[in-house]
Amino acid sequence: MAVTVASAPAKIILFGEHAVVYGRPAIAVPISQVRAEAIVEDSLMHGIKLRAPDLGRESWLTEAQDSDPFARAVQIVLETAPVSRLPDLTITVRSTIPIASGLGSGAAMAAAVIRSLAQHLGLTDLATDQQVSALCYQVERLLHGTPSGIDNTVVAYERPVFFVRQEPSNRIEPFTVATPLHMLVADTGEVSMTRDVVEDVGRRWQKDPEKFEQLFNSCGRVADEARMAIRKGDPKRVGRLMQENQVYLREMTVSSTRLEQLIAAAILAGALGAKLSGAGRGGNMIALVDKENVDKVRNRLLSAGAKSVLISVLT
């Protein structure tokens, strides 16, 4: 019996979260060592069974709620390429990506499900990076409300991207990294729902559009400058720009005490720059460090209370 496996990486936003929702540029990169995987198998039982053993979950597609992103990812593929008879399948998802912590676990799960199911059904047109990203975006809308599209893009393409949300189609530019950037990704352990934070920023923007438009412009400028600094191979400048971006995120009220503690610990231990990554109010922070400082900053983050610290080298 046929089995098809596909996976997708975690991601971090290096620059421009929140502002990206409002059309400003942002930079995101994949973190390939933590991934979501989907396994599609032909089944002897009638219907499509969805399994998420890590979450202790098993249900039939027909029983799933509309708000279930796993089921939605499957339905989106079936709706986009209608088949005369629904196949009999078991779809299993597994993930090593921490959930609700700014690493794009939902997007990675959806991308893995969409790609593996499209491949399994021979729908090669739907299994391209571009299509996986577009279908994944529809699932993201369930999770986020008004996602910018950056998460689905970076997990589907699995490449660093400079991204601008725009009509009729988003600007997606992969970019070169002149000098490897050593990044630490530390988890505060605080769970934060992207949708809630994005909605709250939206309310604050409506109350004080002038202030928020200025903050978003500043974040966009920082993302532009960061792309140049990454291209030129100037990690010190990238670090300073991270610090600057964090000032704007703090003003947007999306930082938290835990995030600030970890950011301060990283800087004290010699990081070139540090900021929250993703929606904020919990989740992850990232620190850019010189190669020889990786262990020192990592240990400092752990003793400052980080629940876990991933090391990722952007090349």
Q: In angstroms, rounded to a whole number, what is the distance separating the alpha carbons of residues 176 and 117?
A: 32
CB of 218 to ligand PMV, least distance (A): 15
Catalytic residue of the set 129, 151, 196, 200: 151
CB of 201 to ligand PMV, least distance (A): 8
| Residue with smaller CB distance to ligand PMV, 118 or 201 | 201
Residue of 6, 8, 21, 36 that binds ligand PMV (CB under 6 A): 21
Q: In angstroms, rounded to a whole number, what is the distance separating the alpha carbons of residues 101 and 107?
A: 12
- Considering only residues 93 to 132 of the shown chain, the ones binding ligand PMV according to CB under 6 A are 102, 104
Q: In angstroms, rounded to a whole number, what is the distance separating the alpha carbons of residues 72 and 135?
A: 10
| Residue with smaller CB distance to ligand PMV, 21 or 274 | 21
CB of 23 to ligand PMV, least distance (A): 11
Say if CB 28 and CB 172 are below 8 A apart: no
- How many residues touch ligand PMV (CB under 6 A)? 16
Active site residue 125: no
Establish if 30 lies at the interface with ligand PMV (CB under 6 A): no
Binding mask 185-214 for ligand PMV (x = CB under 6 A): ---------x---x----------------
Establish if 69 lies at the interface with ligand PMV (CB under 6 A): no
| Residue with smaller CB distance to ligand PMV, 8 or 40 | 8
Binding mask 238-277 for ligand PMV (x = CB under 6 A): ----------------------------------------
Residue of 4, 18, 115, 120 that binds ligand PMV (CB under 6 A): 18
Binding mask 147-166 for ligand PMV (x = CB under 6 A): xx-xx---------------
For residue 156, which of 178, 139, 143 has the smallest C-alpha distance? 139
Residues identified as active-site: 151
Q: Footprint of ligand PMV on this chain (CB under 6 A)?
A: 13, 17-18, 20-21, 102, 104, 144, 147-148, 150-151, 194, 198, 278-279
